[in-house]
């Protein structure tokens, strides 16, 4: 049996609060010098009423810091959705995802860097109670210009996870080989596109793998506000029992840049 909705709601609220605190700390003013951090928060809400009664909410928090010595990338996002068809007495959850990541890179020679990435996710609909990955890495910026960047990175990693329901839970930990890339291009100070991909195959069982893919675009509306649209795709080659391999979400949200 799943945890009560109240517990999940409290956990989600705590997650959002922590994420907001991280960004607030990152943006704390010092003298009159500009902040070395770039941070943003985006929220989206979709409602349908009539023959179907659906509610979908998304929240995304990001904070980045980069200089000639180091690079810090922080991110957190949450998605929750319910659907109730005509004639049904209650709504059914259709999405319940909480995700967070933190990455630290240290530049070495020219565009080479080394670092570490921590990632965690809970997906109630996919029966991923939790999945954490810790991956040291080495990377290289193939393109590292003011408006365009493309980085590739790889390294070993450890995955710790629990999947399934109370009747069939699977706890496991295994070593993986992580590979990834990140791309961003700024057309102007008010418009940009980005894309990222990472894959985690198990070292001693290559058919056990999962990957994450994201592509998006953002255009400034006015002042600190912008419209952000992106697609997230996650593929699990060995999903929890009774679940599909692929999960995709398309999000349109209003973003605020600090």
Give the integer Cα–Cα distance in Å for 2 and 127. 10
Cα maximum dimension of the chain: 64
In tens, the pLDDT along 209-254 reads 999 999 999 999 998 999 999 999 999 998 888 888 999 989 999 9
When pLDDT is averaged across residues 99-103 and rounded to a whole number, the result is 95
* SS3 state at 7: helix
CATH code of the region 5-257: 2.40.160.40
Domain map (residue ranges) of the chain: 5-257
Among 16-25, 32-41, 130-139, 150-159, which is the least confidently predicted range? 16-25
When pLDDT is averaged across residues 138-159 and rounded to a whole number, the result is 96
CA 91 to chain CA mean position, Å: 26
**What does the angle CA 240 – CA 79 – CA 164 come to, to the nearest 5 degrees?**
15
Query: For position 183, what pLDDT does the model report?
Result: 98
Query: For position 31, what pLDDT does the model report?
Result: 55
* DSSP output for 27-90: T---SSSPPSEEEEEEEEEEEE-SSEEEEEEEEEEEEEEE-SSEEEEEEEEEEEEEEEETT-SS
Give the integer Cα–Cα distance in Å for 137 and 180. 10
Give the integer Cα–Cα distance in Å for 251 and 59. 10
In tens, the pLDDT along 153-166 reads 999 999 999 988 77
CA 104 to chain CA mean position, Å: 16
Reported as a pLDDT band with limits 50, 70 and 90, residue 255 is: very high
The yes-or-no verdict on residue 5 having pLDDT over 50 is: no
């Amino acid at each position: 049996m799943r945890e009560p909705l109240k517990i999940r709601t409290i956990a989600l609220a705590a997650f959002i609060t922590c994420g907001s605190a991280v960004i607030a700390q990152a943006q704390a003013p010092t003298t009159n010098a500009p902040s070395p951090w770039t941070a943003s928060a985006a929220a989206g809400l979709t409602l349908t009423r009539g023959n179907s009664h659906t509610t979908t909410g998304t929240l995304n928090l990001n904070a980045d810091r980069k200089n000639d010595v180091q690079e810090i990338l922080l991110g957190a996002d949450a998605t929750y959705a319910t659907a109730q068809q005509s004639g049904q007495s209650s709504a059914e959850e259709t999405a319940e995802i909480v995700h967070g990541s933190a990455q630290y890179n240290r530049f070495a020679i020219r565009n080479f860097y080394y670092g570490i990435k921590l990632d965690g996710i809970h997906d109630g609909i996919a029966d991923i109670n939790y999945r954490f990955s810790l991956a040291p890495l080495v990377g290289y910026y193939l393109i590292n210009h003011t408006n365009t960047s493309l980085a590739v990175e790889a390294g070993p990693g450890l995955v710790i996870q629990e999947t399934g329901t109370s009747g069939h839970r699977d706890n496991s930990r295994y070593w993986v080989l992580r590979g990834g890339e990140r791309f961003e291009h700024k057309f102007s100070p008010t418009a940009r596109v980005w894309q990222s991909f990472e894959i985690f195959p198990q070292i001693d069982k290559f058919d056990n793998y999962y990957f994450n893919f994201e592509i998006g675009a953002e255009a400034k509306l006015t002042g600190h506000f912008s419209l952000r649209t992106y697609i997230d795709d996650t593929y699990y080659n060995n999903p929890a029992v009774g679940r599909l391999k692929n999960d995709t979400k398309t999000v349109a949200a209003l973003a605020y840049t600090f």
